[in-house]
Structure 1
């Protein structure tokens, strides 16, 4: 039966469950990263995305794309990471307007130290509760949603690269 707004009871229940799961997972990740690494989830994502790039560096515009954040939001996070000595910025040698963000040695160290706990949490709350068949279904559904939302294959590839 539809709720009067075009969703069946099952669709509405699934939507609300999805929102609750996403909120609770994000809270768990945020708290774990704050407690264990002194990082926010967006800051960890910046470090992780830089670690996947050649030489640990990316143009800020590319980084914003793979970190799925706005340029202003990214700029704020990179500024905080720069103050902590985990990231540095420099002008792009091939484009006067471009800025390169790069992991520092301290940034590499912070990521290596924090990644195992982060991966354990992802495994505990996201992977392990599901059977292999359930996880395969979730993976397929996530790919379909990503495609519908217009995530490019380049962005999806970057999102899937390690670390978690």
Structure 2
């Protein structure tokens, strides 16, 4: 009798635990959608790509053996950009970021944030809880950055290969014209 009761209790806990986890993940995904994290990530990626391209252009200009200004061709810039867009695509990180939210925020905290993003306001009675929830932001942001870093490939080797091939083609065309 005790074993049957214990088994039933364990079964209920397992079912309830899965339902709670599923609900937390559902809330986390809703929070990600409501806060438009995918759009923010896309904007950040575009800015980062522009910074990377500017850095590469600057390095090439300062290290070039020619006095003529060298710029990366549009096709090369596009190839470099595509790598970053593919590697840092939202779909690669959405599930992991939702799990981070589900693991570090209570369902009540996630609902509070969802309501905040929807209404752009917080009910005065919930301000202390809102402040406590916001206090977790730096930790969650660090976990998210670590997750993205450990779950993404690097484009640097590809970038270096593309740029070196381009510079080599410039050297070859200069040598051929002499």
TM-score when normalising by structure 2: 0.28
Going by fraction, where is strand more abundant, 1 or 2? Answer: 1
Higher Cα Rg: structure 1 or 2? 2
Which structure carries more helix by proportion?
A: 2
Higher relative contact order (CA 8 A, sep 6+): 2
TM-score by structure 1 length?
0.30
